[in-house]
Amino acid sequence: MKISVIRDDITRQEVDAIVNAANESLLGGGGMDGTIHRAAGPELKEECKTLDGCPTGEARVTKGYKLPTDFVIHTVGPVWKGGGQNEEQLLASCYHESLKKADERKLTSVAFPNISTGVYGFPKRKAAEVALKAVKEYREQNKTHIEKLVFVCFDEENYTIYNELLKED
Ligand code: APR
């Protein structure tokens, strides 16, 4: 599993699955969630309605509809509340659970956004450290089908942080 970083819009990624930073209702929202729903078309929301939501730290899978990706893995990141509410473990769980869902379907390429670092307020550097540690742990502990994992950063700050952390690796 090769890990890379790009600066782009996640809805443009031609991979087997993109990950959506959703909320527990799974019925859409602002930020990237809204962009994904707009790009996928109304059928995505119709399928999401059948899922009955998703608890924080878990993941659910739908088809990608009009997106250039076969699947969308919806995961719900934690709202940052200062760090004492299990936020780091819940964020790590989002990455683990999303990778598990991709592997269950034998997918080989997955694009991740910077979960929780927008509206949910998770400090960006800490979130990036948690994300990289989580995906590397997953790679070490599992026989994965995933060959390509790309972190798609939308803002410059996240892109700079990920580049720094991946260089240190
Ligand atoms: N592609 C990739 N990344 C994006 C895009 C995009 N098109 N749009 C925004 N981002 C980045 C932001 O720069 C941020 O770093 O995604 C990161 C996460 O931001 P949010 O979308 O606000 O997600 P999050 O912080 O997890 O909050 C989730 O926002 O949209 C609602 O329904 C969602 O209630 C949920 C909450």
Which SS3 state, helix, strand or coil, does residue 110 take? strand
Mean pLDDT of 50-70: 98
Mutate to test the pocket of ligand 1, among 32, 98, 150 (most ligand atoms within 8 A of CB): 32
For 67-99, how does the pLDDT look when each residue is reduced to its tens digit (9 = 90+)?
Answer: 999 999 999 999 999 999 999 999 999 999 999
The answer to whether 93 and 65 are in contact (CB under 8 A) is: no
**pTM for this predicted structure:** 0.98
User: Could you tell me which CATH number the domain at 2-168 has?
Assistant: 3.40.220.10
The minimum-distance atom of ligand 1 relative to the CA of 9 is 1
10 Å CB burial of residue 131 (0-12, 13-18, 19+) is buried
Q: Which residues line ligand 1 (CB under 6 A)?
A: 9-11, 21-23, 29-35, 77, 113-120, 152, 154-155, 158
Cβ contact 142:102 at 8 Å: no
pLDDT at residue 168 is higher than 90: no
Q: Are 95 and 131 contacting, i.e. CB atoms less than 8 angstroms apart?
A: yes
Residue nearest to atom 5 of ligand 1 (CA): 32
What is the C-alpha end-to-end distance of the chain, expressed in Å?
14
User: Residue 155 pLDDT more than 70?
Assistant: yes
